[in-house]
Amino acid sequence: MNDQAGEAALSLQGLVKRFGATRALDGASLVVRRGSLHGLIGQNGAGKSTIVKILNGLLQPDSGSIAIDGRQVVDASPRLIERLGVHIIHQEPMLVPGFTVAEALFLGDEPRLGAGRSPVVSWRTMRRCAEEAIASRFGLALRGDTPLDQLGAAERQIVQITRSLLKAPRVLVFDEPTASLVRSEANRLFAIIRRLREEGAAVLYVSHYLEEVRDLCDTVTVLRNGRDVATLDPARTSVAGMAALMVDRDLGAMFPTRSSLPGAPLLEARGLGRSGAFADLSFTLRAGEILGLTGLVGSGAKELVAALFGLAPADRGTLLLHGRAVMPASPSEAVGLGIGLVPEDRRRNGVALDASVAENATLPGLVRFVRRFLLDRGREQEAVRGLIARLAIKTPGPDAPVGALSGGNQQKVSLAKWLGTGATLFLLDEPTVAVDVAAKVEIYRLLADLAAGGAGILLLSSDLAELRGLADRILVMHRGRLVAELRAADATADEILTAASGGAAGSAPDGIAA
Amino acid sequence: MSVAAPGPAALRGIDLARAVRVMLPAVMLVIVACFAAASPTFRSGGNLVHVLINDVTLPALASLGMTLVVSTGGIDLSVGTAADLAALAAALTVTQGGDALLALSAGLAAALCVGVVNAILVAGFGIAPFLATLGILFIGESVQQLATNGGAPIYVVSNFPPLLDRLAHGAMLSIPIPLILLAMLSALTRLLLARTAYGRRAHATGIAPAVARHSGVPVRRVLAITYILSASLCGVAGLLLLATVKSYVPLSGNAFLLDAIGAVFLGTTISRDARPNVPGTLLGVLLFGVLRNGLLLVGWNFYWQQVAVGLLVLVVLGVSFGVRRRGRE
Ligand SMILES: Nc1ncnc2c1ncn2[C@@H]1O[C@H](COP(=O)(O)OP(=O)(O)OP(=O)(O)O)[C@@H](O)[C@H]1O
Ligand SMILES: [Mg+2]
C-alpha cells in the first residue's frame, strides 16, 4: 500500500442496488484515502458505473452508506456532491450537445463582467479562459467557440475532464476516461492525475486497461458481481492475476491459437478510391483470414470501412466479393451481399438503446424469421437466447432494453447482430472498446471461430496488441494510401507506428495505443 | 451485510409504471360509467352504434395510418388531405356518370397520389415529415378550393350508386359494413406493425434511425411504404365519408388530423415501451368519440367538448410522461 495514504476521503459501505431482478450491487464497500490513486476494476456489468452513479446521486442505493471526509451523505445529488468537492467524469459523456467548448466548460459558473459581480456573462473572457485551460493541461488547441458536436470523442472527453479539473477537486472519479483518448492525451491525463495526488486529492479510477491501472494506481479494488472481492497492491500483483480475480478463474491465453489456411479470395480491392478520403487501394482478404487495418486519424482507414459497407461508396476502382464485381451503394445493399459492420460509435450507430436485446440482435437478419409474412417470434427468442449464451451477454433477458445493459455488454449485442445472418465479410471498427478482459478473450475466440468457419474479417483497430495477436496480416494506412502490409506474426509495434506516421522513423505518433 | 428489502422507491417505480399502462382503459371505463349513469340516451344500444359509426370509424381509419407514421418517428399532417382528395375524386367521378367501382378506384388513386408524393418528399429527398406533409396539407387545400369554385360542396344526391350507398349504410349479419371494414383494416394494421419484419423495421427506424441504417434496414423503403399506406387508409376514410353523407364538403377531412395525432399519442401510454400501437390508438379514438357524444347528451356544446378532449389528452400524457421519467431516473 501507499505509505502516504491519509485518512478516508471517500468511504462507501455496503452498497446494494437492484434493478428489477438484477443485483447491480450486492454489498460493495470501498474506501479511497486522501492522496491516493485508487483503481476499481471488474467485468462488464460488475457494477462499477453503478457505484459511480450512486456516489453522485444519479441513482439511489437500496441500502448502504456514503461518507465524504468522514461525514455521512444522505440524499446525494450531483449539486451537493460537487459542493463537497467530489467531481465525476462519467463513462458516457454528459455534456449539452449544442453548446460550445467554452459554454460547456463554464456551465453554471460563467465568468462575469465587472470583476465577476455583474450578472452579464463575459463571452470573450470565457472563450479565452476555456482555450487556455485546455491548452495548458492537454496541449490541445481547441477554439472556445467550437460546438461540441463538431468534436471527436477524444476532444469531448478532454473538455469533460478539464471542466472537472477547473473546480479544484478534492475527490476525482474517472469512469473509463481513456477509452477514447489517444496515447499522448492519455499520458498527459496520467501526469495530471499524479499531480493531483501530490496535492492531496483522492482519485477513484475505473478502467478496463489493466496495465494502465497497474502503472497508475496505489491500491486496486476488484469488483465481482456487485461485491468487492479483493483490495490489492498493484505493485505486487500481475495483470493476469488481476484479471483472474475479476473473473474468478484463470483466463488462459489472451489470443486464440489460429491454424488457419486462408482459402479463396473473398474480398479483392483493385485501385479503390474516394475523392478526399483514400486513393489507389489494392488488397485481398481471403476466406478464413483476419486482416488487420490501422492508421492515425485522417488516414482514411475509417473511410475505407465506410465505403465497403456502402455508407460512403468508393468512386474509383473495383471491388470483387467472392469474385463478383460489387459496389454497395447503401448499407442495406451491403448487408444483402453478406457484409456486416460493428461500428465504433456503439451508442449512436451500433445498438438502439430503447429497443430490446432481442430486437437489436435480430434487426439485420430479420428475414430469416419470416414465415408466411409473419415473424416467428418463438424461433426468434430461441435464436436470441442462443446468442446471449454464446457471447455470455449479461442481461436480465431478451426483452430487456439494451440501454439497461453495461457498456461492454452493449458492445456484445452490437456484435451479436451479425451472427446467424449468413454474413461472410465482417467489418469490425474497434470492436473491443470498453470490453472487459474476459469478454475480450471471448470475442477474440469468436472471431477466430468465424474465420475458421470461412468468414473474412477486416479488423480496424488502434490497439496494437489486438492487431498483432489476432490478425494474420496488418494493413497500415497513411493519408489515404496503403503504406505497409505486414505479417502480424513478426510485425513490431515500432514498425507499425512508423508506417502509420508516414515512415518518419523515431517519433511515435498519436492515435495508436502501443 | 444485511440484505435489505427492495427499496420503497424501486417498488413505487414498478407499480406506477404498471398503473400508467392501465390508465387509459380505466379512464375509458370511468367516463362510460359516468355518462351511462347521467344519460339514459347514452346507454341505449342505438347510441353506441351511432357513436361507433359516426364519431369513431372515420377518424379511426386515419389514426391507423398515423400510428404507422409515428412508429417510424414521423408525423403525417396530410391525413385529412388524402381523405378529402379521395372523396373529391370519387364525387367528381359520380357526377360525371361514373359507376361505383370507377368512383372507388378514382378515390383510392387520388389518396395514393398523396401518399406517393409524401413518400418522395420524405424518403426520397429526406425532408422532415412535419414540413413535407405540411406542404401537402396546404397544396391539398388549394386544390380542393380550385376544384370547387372556392369551396362549394358537391352534392351527389341523385343517382348515387347503390354499391357506394351500401358501403356506408349496409350491414352484413346485421353488423354495419363500416364497422366490419374498420375491424378488418385494424386487424391488418395491427398484424403489420406488431408481427411482420416491416413493423419491426418501422419501429427501429423510429427509435434509432442511424442504428437501423447501420443494420441494413432499407430505411427509405420503409418510410416510403409507411406514407403510402397511411394515405391509402385515409383514402378509405374519405370514401366512407362521401358514401355516408352523399356529398363532398371541402376540407372536412381536416377534422381527422388532430384526433389522429391525439389518439396515437394517448395510445402509446398502454405500451410497455411507450410505442405507438393499434389497440392503444383505437382506444384513444374511441375515448374521444365517447367523450364528445356523452358531453353532447348532457348538454355541452362543441366548444366545451373540445376543451374536455384537450384536458383529457394533457392529463393522460402528462401523468404518463411524468411517471416514465421518474422510473428512468
Ligand atoms: N438503468 C438500469 N436498469 C436496469 N439494469 C441496469 C441499469 N443500469 C445498470 N444495470 C445493470 O446493472 C449491472 C451493473 O451495471 P454497471 O453499468 O454498473 O456495470 P459496469 O461495471 O460499469 O460495466 P462496464 O464495464 O460494461 O461499463 C449490469 O448488469 C446492468 O445490466
Ligand atoms: Mg461502466
Q: Model's pTM, two decimal places? A: 0.83
pLDDT band at B19 (very low <50, low <70, confident <90, very high): confident
Query: How much is the pLDDT for A1?
Result: 41
Those residues with Cβ within 8 angstroms of residue A156's Cβ, 6 or more apart along the chain or in another chain:
A93, A95, A148, A180
Assess whether A55 and A78 both reside in one domain.
Answer: yes
- The SS3 call for residue A17 is strand
Q: Which grid coordinates are listed for A259? A: 491454424
Q: What value does the mean pLDDT of chain A take? A: 86
Highest-confidence segment of A150-154, A261-265, B150-154, B223-227: B223-227
| pLDDT above 80: residue B225 | yes
Of A16, A63, A349, the CB nearest to B210: A349
Query: What letter would DSSP give residue A508?
Result: P
Assess whether A65 and A198 both reside in one domain.
Answer: yes
Q: Which grid coordinates are listed for A241? A: 492475476
Overall number of domains in chain B: 1
Q: What value does the mean pLDDT of chain B take? A: 89
Query: Using alpha carbons only, what angle is made at residue A380 by residues A374 and A381, rounded to the nearest 5 degrees?
Result: 130
Over residues A39-52, mean pLDDT:
91
Rounded Cα distance between A52 and A88, Å, is 8
Rounded Cα distance between B191 and B66, Å, is 15
Percent of chain B at pLDDT > 90 equals: 59
Handedness of CA A98, A102, A106, A112 (dihedral sign): negative
Q: Which grid coordinates are listed for A161? A: 475532464
Quickly tell me which residue has 483472474 as its cell. Answer: A244
| pLDDT above 70: residue B262 | yes
Ligand nearest, relative to CA of residue A440: 1
Q: How many CB atoms lie within 10 A of CB A131?
A: 19
- Which of A181-185, A264-268, B154-158 has the least mean pLDDT? A181-185
Interchain CB distance below 8 Å, B201 and A363: yes
Over residues B146-174, mean pLDDT:
86
Assess whether A45 and A68 both reside in one domain.
Answer: yes
Interchain CB distance below 8 Å, A332 and B216: yes
Assess if residue A18 is contained within a domain. Answer: yes
Q: Which domain holds residue A117?
A: 98-168
Over residues A133-137, mean pLDDT:
82
CA of residue A156 relative to chain centroid, distance: 14
Those residues with Cβ within 8 angstroms of residue B163's Cβ, 6 or more apart along the chain or in another chain:
B99, B100, B101
Assess whether A10 and A81 both reside in one domain.
Answer: yes
Over residues A448-472, mean pLDDT:
91
Hey, what amino acid is at A215?
D
Assess whether A48 and A16 both reside in one domain.
Answer: yes
Q: Concatenate the DSSP letters of all residues of A91-122 into one string.
A: SS----TTSBHHHHHHTTS--BTTTTTSSSB-
Q: Which of residues 184-223 of B touch A (CB under 8 A)?
A: 191, 195-197, 200-201, 203-204, 207-208, 210-219, 221
pLDDT band at B7 (very low <50, low <70, confident <90, very high): very low
> What is the pairing mode between strands B171-172 and B175-176?
antiparallel
Of A309, A355, A356, the CB nearest to B208: A355
pLDDT band at A506 (very low <50, low <70, confident <90, very high): very low
Hey, what amino acid is at B326?
R
Rounded Cα distance between B81 and A398, Å, is 42
Over residues A71-98, mean pLDDT:
81
Query: How much is the pLDDT for A205?
Result: 93
Rounded Cα distance between B31 and B292, Å, is 11
Rounded Cα distance between A73 and A76, Å, is 6
A51 touches A246 (CB < 8 A): no
| pLDDT above 90: residue B261 | yes
Nearest residue to A9 via CA among A62, A70, A54:
A70
Residue A483 burial class via C-beta count within 10 angstroms: exposed 0-12, middle 13-18, buried 19 and up: middle
Assess whether A209 and A112 both reside in one domain.
Answer: no
Atom 27 (ligand 1): residue with closest C-alpha? A407
Nearest residue to A181 via CA among A86, A297, A46:
A297
- Residue A248, phi then psi, degrees to nearest 5: 65, 30
Percent of chain A at pLDDT > 90 equals: 43
Interchain CB distance below 8 Å, A375 and B213: no
Nearest residue to B167 via CA among B79, B86, B229, B82:
B86
Assess whether A81 and A189 both reside in one domain.
Answer: yes
Ligand 2 midpoint to CA A154 (Å): 17
- The SS3 call for residue A89 is strand
Q: Concatenate the DSSP letters of all residues of A258-322 into one string.
A: ------SEEEEEEEEEETTTEEEEEEEEETT-EEEEEE-TTSSHHHHHHHHTTSS--SEEEEEET
Q: How far is B192 from chain A (nearest CA, A)?
A: 8
| pLDDT above 90: residue B1 | no
Query: What letter would DSSP give residue A238?
Result: -
Over residues A161-176, mean pLDDT:
86
Highest-confidence segment of A323-327, B21-25, B66-70: B66-70
Hey, what amino acid is at B7?
G
- Residue A39, phi then psi, degrees to nearest 5: -85, 150
pLDDT band at B326 (very low <50, low <70, confident <90, very high): low
* A406 in contact with ligand 1, CB cutoff 6 A: yes
Rounded Cα distance between B253 and B245, Å, is 13
* A50 in contact with ligand 1, CB cutoff 6 A: yes
Instruction: Annotate A449-476 with b (16+ C-beta within 10 A) or e (fewer).
Output: ebbeeebbbbbbbbbbebbbbbbbbbbb
Rounded Cα distance between A514 and A236, Å, is 23
| pLDDT above 60: residue A3 | no
| pLDDT above 70: residue A313 | yes
Taking CA–CA distances from A335, the nearest residue in chain B reads B216
Which of A138, A168, A198 terminates a domain? The answer is: A168
A2 touches A197 (CB < 8 A): no
Query: Which residues pair with residue A274 across a beta bridge?
Result: A278
Assess if residue B95 is contained within a domain. Answer: yes
pLDDT band at A162 (very low <50, low <70, confident <90, very high): confident
Over residues B104-115, mean pLDDT:
97
Assess if residue B167 is contained within a domain. Answer: yes
Residues of B in contact with A370 (CB under 8 A): 196-197
Interchain CB distance below 8 Å, A16 and B3: yes
Assess if residue A500 is contained within a domain. Answer: no
Query: How much is the pLDDT for A479?
Result: 87
Q: Give the end-to-end CA distance of chain B in Å, rounded to a whole number.
A: 26
Q: Which of residues 120-149 of B touch A (CB under 8 A)?
A: none
Q: Which grid coordinates are listed for A154? A: 477524444
> What is the pairing mode between strands A425-429 and A265-274?
unpaired
A331/B contact by beta carbon, under 8 A: yes
Query: Using alpha carbons only, what angle is made at residue A387 by residues A383 and A390, rounded to the nearest 5 degrees?
Result: 135
Taking CA–CA distances from B7, the nearest residue in chain A reads A62
Assess if residue B140 is contained within a domain. Answer: yes
Ligand nearest, relative to CA of residue A407: 1
Please indicate whether residue A260 or residue B95 has the higher confidence score (pLDDT).
B95
Assess if residue A442 is contained within a domain. Answer: no
Assess if residue B157 is contained within a domain. Answer: yes
pLDDT band at B12 (very low <50, low <70, confident <90, very high): very low
pLDDT band at A476 (very low <50, low <70, confident <90, very high): very high
Assess whether A17 and A139 both reside in one domain.
Answer: no
Residue A105 burial class via C-beta count within 10 angstroms: exposed 0-12, middle 13-18, buried 19 and up: buried
- The SS3 call for residue A25 is strand
- DSSP E strands in A332-378: the ranges are 339-342, 370-371, 374-375
Query: Which residues pair with residue A513 across a beta bridge?
Result: A463
Of A331, A375, A417, the CB nearest to B197: A375
Rounded Cα distance between A489 and A456, Å, is 18
Residues of A in contact with B218 (CB under 8 A): 330, 332
Assess if residue A194 is contained within a domain. Answer: yes
Which of A202, A232, A253 terminates a domain? The answer is: A253
A183 touches A512 (CB < 8 A): yes
Which of A238, A253, A268 terminates a domain? The answer is: A253
Q: How many Å is the maximal CA-CA distance in chain B? A: 86
Assess whether A6 and A142 both reside in one domain.
Answer: no
Q: Which domain holds residue B93?
A: 51-254
Rounded Cα distance between B270 and B19, Å, is 10
To which H or E segment does residue A247 belong? helix A239-247
Whole-complex ipTM: 0.86
Assess whether A128 and A235 both reside in one domain.
Answer: no
CA neighbours closer than 13 Å in the CB half-sphere of residue A125? 12
Assess if residue A6 is contained within a domain. Answer: yes
Query: How much is the pLDDT for B106?
Result: 96
| pLDDT above 50: residue A184 | yes
* A412 in contact with ligand 1, CB cutoff 6 A: no
Assess whether A37 and A173 both reside in one domain.
Answer: yes
Quickly tell me which residue has 438502439 as its cell. Answer: A352
A447 touches A260 (CB < 8 A): no
Rounded Cα distance between B166 and A259, Å, is 75
Q: How far is A75 from chain B (nearest CA, A)?
A: 13
Assess if residue B7 is contained within a domain. Answer: no
**Interface mutation target, options A74, A332, A413, chain B, most CBs of B under 10 Å:** A332
* A24 in contact with ligand 1, CB cutoff 6 A: yes
Over residues A186-199, mean pLDDT:
83
Return the CATH number at A190.
3.40.50.300
Those residues with Cβ within 8 angstroms of residue A3's Cβ, 6 or more apart along the chain or in another chain:
none
A18/B contact by beta carbon, under 8 A: yes
Residue A60 burial class via C-beta count within 10 angstroms: exposed 0-12, middle 13-18, buried 19 and up: middle
Pocket test for ligand 1, best of A22, A92, A209, A354 (most atoms within 8 A of CB): A22
Rounded Cα distance between A22 and A20, Å, is 6
Assess if residue B111 is contained within a domain. Answer: yes
Assess whether A14 and A24 both reside in one domain.
Answer: yes
Overall number of domains in chain A: 2
Ligand 2 midpoint to CA A92 (Å): 9
Each residue's pLDDT tens digit, B175-218: 899 999 999 999 999 999 999 999 999 999 999 999 999 999 99
- The SS3 call for residue A84 is coil
Assess if residue B282 is contained within a domain. Answer: no
Summary count for chain B: helices (H), strands (E): 14, 4
B325/A contact by beta carbon, under 8 A: no
B157/A contact by beta carbon, under 8 A: no
Query: How much is the pLDDT for A112?
Result: 62
* A431 in contact with ligand 1, CB cutoff 6 A: no
Q: How many residues does chain B have?
A: 329
Rounded Cα distance between A16 and A3, Å, is 31
Over residues B226-237, mean pLDDT:
97
A417 touches A409 (CB < 8 A): no
Rounded Cα distance between A100 and A148, Å, is 5
Query: How much is the pLDDT for A377?
Result: 92
